[in-house]
Amino acid sequence: MQVQSHYSDLLVIGAGLSGERAAAEAAAKGFSVIVLSIVPARRSHSSAAQGGMQASLGNSVMGEGDSPDVHFADTVKGSDWGCDQECARLFANGAPIEMRRLAAWGVPWNRVVAGRSVYFKGGEKFEKEEKKEKEGLITARAFGGTAKWRTCYTSDGTGHAVMCTMDNRCAELGITVLDRKDAVALIHDGMACTGAVVRCMRTGVLEEFRAKATVIATGGLGRLYKATTNAVICDGGGHIIALDTGVAPIGNPEAIQFHPTGIVPTDILVTEGCRGDGGTLLDVDQKRFMHIYEPEKAELASRDVVSRRMTEHMLAGKGVPSPYGEHLWLDIRHLGDRHISTKLREVDEICRHFLGVDPRKQLIPVRPTQHYAMAGIRTNKDGAVYGLKGLFSVGEAACWDMHGFNRLGGNSLAETVVAGGIVGAKIVEFLQGNEVAFSTAHARDALRKTEERVNSVATCANGRENVYAVREEMQQALMDGCFVFRNEADLQQCVARLQKTLDRARRVGLVSDGKGVCHELYSALRIEGQVKLALMIAKGALERKESRGSHNREDYSARDDKDWLNRTLAYWREGADMPELLYEDASPVFELPPGERGYGGGRIIPADPAWVAARTIK
């Protein structure tokens, strides 16, 4: 088989913020880098991030006294003690440095303006005087689950601003960024990864990309759910090629975040910055309710808590009926025209274009929807994937794991560049200290298997199941059985439905001929892997008999540190029909021993004190 071959020191699959940040770190040290993306880099989902990036700069008057220690504590509590505290510490320490680096590279952060500034908290207006010496420094807004205001922002288009800056940085460094390239398989021998088999989405031709190190930075898997804020490209593609190796695990597949404010009916995100800037949630009677459930944090409790409380309130009969199902209201009218037109301009455009609503005068219909995956390809603190030497992962595709069972808003966008830089530096160390031998046999084998897959689907050799019907069934199974609230009966039914769906996915055939630009073939090559990921989510949720962060079990409502202070590792072995679940300690050490979050309520079954003490840093 004649294929075009490409060679580089580093191959990065995914051109969002985390992938390009890791690429920039390696290129700055003189290594050759190729970055692949299924869309033009600036259309990566990183560009859709609105609210901002958390970093303890302490410049805002409401951020005085902030520090990496406070940020670290917020992150661990936000994770419901499910995170790797070593990674959380690396992140909290590195975030202020990275925000200033981004400013130097050209990100136009909103800045402190001296004088008296108007703020809203819970809809109530108040004023604070900014200190003169801070004028011009990077400012911040409030986000949920934080003790200080530390979310750096550029109005409500932070992701877009940072993505354009990062892409410019890659251009400056001479990095090759290729779009319309779909990585469909990794080249490996079961012990080491040496690149990927890639399908050109323009021509349909298979290509071979060989590299000494490979990074998966393909973002999330939200499109496994029917209701999600994620773009269509967030379909788990990177997760699939990793789990297909049979040796790389998915960490905490059951840890799926639901954002409180997806608009109804399209599920497009309106940023947490709305509530951070003073927006409130209202019920069918147009009354605030979050302060009843969460007197201290109200609308600015962590996302898992707000989503849970909103769902509880609707179940109590306080939802707003609509043709698209019940919802609640988000009210930002009191913020005024100037604030909405400048600091929430994308929210303004979304409301106008997708709802026909003017948020200065009208309420915004919202409800919880899938938004983020704490689940991801499991790596160590260096970003190295378990099981395959030379393979790394970063960003939402990875379970690094600083988020545990719930991430704080603003932490993931910051993670892209902070972890991207940290992991990029470790990749440089790997490239400097390792010689890699390329095996033509392994590459030919991967190419042959991929070509056989393409031909079998295109010729309907295994069946004629419609890929879109199968995807619909997978999405609905997760919506029905594995959403904000979960229980034994629904999860068992979800797993059973997905097992049948997996059989259908293995019998998908094309209606089209599969040649050239063919979205049907693109979807068909992913569908079996997507159903496997969905099964990992449902099976992981079924087996975890506790409630922690975003994983809410109605039948096991306590957080059980005694038996479940751990991380799920889900493998899909060759020839298997179900995932294999193993477990490891959530954190190798505790800088902050398990305790109460300070919001969210709920009973905690404590871990053995001696076990905790032995792992706590003195």
Q: What is the pLDDT of residues 233-292, one digit of tens each?
A: 999 999 999 999 999 999 999 999 999 999 999 999 999 989 999 999 999 999 999 999
pLDDT tops 80 at residue 441: yes
Which of 45, 141, 223, 275 is catalytic? The answer is: 275
- Domain end, chosen from 317, 348, 371, is at 371
Say how many domains are in the chain: 2
Does the annotation mark 239 as catalytic? no
Does 39 lie in the same domain as 159? yes
- CATH number for the domain including 98? 3.50.50.60
Residue reference for tokens 């106008």 = 352
Q: What is the reported pLDDT for 132?
A: 59
pLDDT tops 80 at residue 114: no
Does the annotation mark 259 as catalytic? yes
Does 378 lie in the same domain as 364? no
Task: State the sign of the Cα–Cα–Cα–Cα dihedral 185, 188, 191, 192.
Answer: negative
Which of 89, 259, 442, 559 is catalytic? The answer is: 259
Q: What is the pLDDT of residues 517-530, one digit of tens each?
A: 899 999 999 999 99
Does 90 lie in the same domain as 67? yes
pLDDT tops 60 at residue 1: no
Those residues with Cβ within 8 angstroms of residue 615's Cβ, 6 or more apart along the chain or in another chain: 585, 587, 588, 589, 590
Residue 344 lies in a domain: yes
Residue 291 lies in a domain: yes
Alpha carbons 28 and 535: distance in angstroms, whole number: 41
Does 160 lie in the same domain as 90? yes
Does 354 lie in the same domain as 231? no
Alpha carbons 412 and 423: distance in angstroms, whole number: 15
- Residues of the chain with pLDDT > 90, as a percent, come to 89
Does 288 lie in the same domain as 219? no
Residue 490 lies in a domain: no
Alpha carbons 540 and 534: distance in angstroms, whole number: 10
Domain that holds residue 331: 256-371
> For all residues of the chain together, what is the average pLDDT?
94
Residue 214 lies in a domain: yes
Closest by Cα among 372, 159, 109, 7 to 167: 159
Q: What is the pLDDT of residues 412-421, one digit of tens each?
A: 999 999 999 9
For the entire predicted model, the pTM comes to 0.95
**Any alpha helices (H) in 459-576, and if so which ranges?**
467-481, 488-505, 519-543, 561-564
Alpha carbons 222 and 211: distance in angstroms, whole number: 29
Cα torsion for 371, 375, 380, 381, to the nearest 10°? 30
Q: Report the relative pairing of strands 176-178 and 33-36 from DSSP bridges.
A: parallel
pLDDT tops 80 at residue 129: no
The pLDDT confidence band at residue 556, using thresholds 50, 70 and 90, is very high
CA dist 297 to 147, 280, 370, 483, Å?
Answer: 10, 12, 22, 24
Radius of gyration from C-alpha coordinates of the chain:
23
